[in-house]
Amino acid sequence: MTETARPSAVTITGVSFSYGQRRVLEELDLDVLQGSYCGIVGSNGSGKTTLAYLIAGIFSPCSGTIDTHELRTGLVLSNPANQVVSLVVGEDIAFGPENMGLSIPEITSRIEYALDVIHCSHLRDALISSLSGGQLAKIAFAGQLALDVDVLVLDEGTVMLDPLSRRTVLETIRELNASLGKTIIHISHRIDDLETADRVVVLEEGRISRSSGGVFELARQMGADGIAGIELGSRLLYRTFLFNAGIDEEDLSTATQLLSRTMQGAVLSH
């Protein structure tokens, strides 16, 4: 199915939102296609978390509309510990399906499926308190999978993780999108977290200021000055450095030589 033939998963039209007298989002428009991976990047205070809550249906817009096209939408918070409701992994994942009124066999099936997808079947009887940060984040994903969501909204899903756990969670997000076809809306202030997104938009002062076909294209748009409060990350800085120098990133020898000369020049200039 081509991009133009894909139906919409989330359509945001003219949405504004305020906390009292403080306007956070201003006439925001965004269309996210089904099965796509959309990254939304912005600095602290840009309205990212508010937008996540609006898409998930926790908040209602002050004006404008959000249409999820009758698709089930789930939210994973920046701190997955805030979503824990039970002491044991399996019981925690079962909470949502139980509240849907599903039968015990169906609940059991959904728990097994969700844990299998995230490669954590061995953790079913584990205590939540024994999990690493990465494992806890994956269990939060499992809870949403057990609800059979179509659209998964991630609000700063890696912000509290160490590098290894962060890498594990990013791999899980990619798999949910590529293998299961889940629509991903990944909100972050770190552009390199969104490396496999098919589209990345920048949220500034409650409005979408830029849209690109991916993080590398966005990094080139931003240039050396970047955007305040948004982290490019070392890998993107490196790829952009090579692109500006006209060097293929697969040409490791030339890339290494150029990087070495650049670093030596920087040292000598100081």
The percentage of residues in the chain with a pLDDT greater than 90, rounded to a whole number, is 58
pLDDT > 80? residue 201: yes
Take residue 119 and report the two structure tokens written for it.
């490669």
Q: Given this model, what pLDDT does residue 123 score?
A: 96
Q: Do 46 and 206 touch, CB atoms closer than 8 A?
A: yes
Greater confidence (231 vs 88) lies with 88
Mean pLDDT of the chain: 85
Each residue's pLDDT tens digit, 28-62: 999 999 999 999 998 888 899 999 999 999 999 99
Q: Given this model, what pLDDT does residue 263 score?
A: 47
pLDDT > 60? residue 122: yes
Q: What are the extents of the domains in the chain?
A: 1-71+181-227, 73-149, 233-270
Please state the separation of Cα 18 from the chain's center in Å. Answer: 24
191-204 mean pLDDT: 90
104-126 mean pLDDT: 96
Pairing between β-strand 151-155 and β-strand 183-188 as defined by DSSP bridges = parallel
* Integer Cα distance of 36 and 200 in angstroms: 11
**DSSP conformation letters of 246-268:** T--TT-HHHHHHHHHHHHHHHHH
Q: Given this model, what pLDDT does residue 31 score?
A: 97
Q: Given this model, what pLDDT does residue 168 score?
A: 86
- Phi then psi for 198, rounded to 5 degrees? -80, -15
Pairing between β-strand 63-67 and β-strand 8-19 as defined by DSSP bridges = antiparallel
- Phi then psi for 11, rounded to 5 degrees? -120, 115
111-132 mean pLDDT: 95
pLDDT > 90? residue 110: yes
Q: Given this model, what pLDDT does residue 267 score?
A: 40
pTM: predicted TM-score of the whole model, two decimal places? 0.82
Each residue's pLDDT tens digit, 129-183: 999 988 999 999 999 999 999 999 999 878 778 888 888 888 999 999 999 999 9
With cut-offs at 50, 70 and 90, classify the pLDDT of residue 205. Answer: confident
Q: Do 215 and 236 touch, CB atoms closer than 8 A?
A: yes
pLDDT > 50? residue 229: yes
pLDDT > 90? residue 66: yes
Residues 6 or more apart in contact with residue 143 via CB below 8 angstroms: 83, 92, 93, 95, 96, 114
* Continuous segment of H or E residues that includes residue 16: strand 8-19
Residues 6 or more apart in contact with residue 227 via CB below 8 angstroms: 43, 202, 204
CATH topology of domain 1-71+181-227: Rossmann fold (3.40.50)
- Report the b/e string of 109-134 with b at 16+ CB within 10 A: ebbeebbebbebeebbeeebeebebb
Take residue 53 and report the two structure tokens written for it.
């809550």
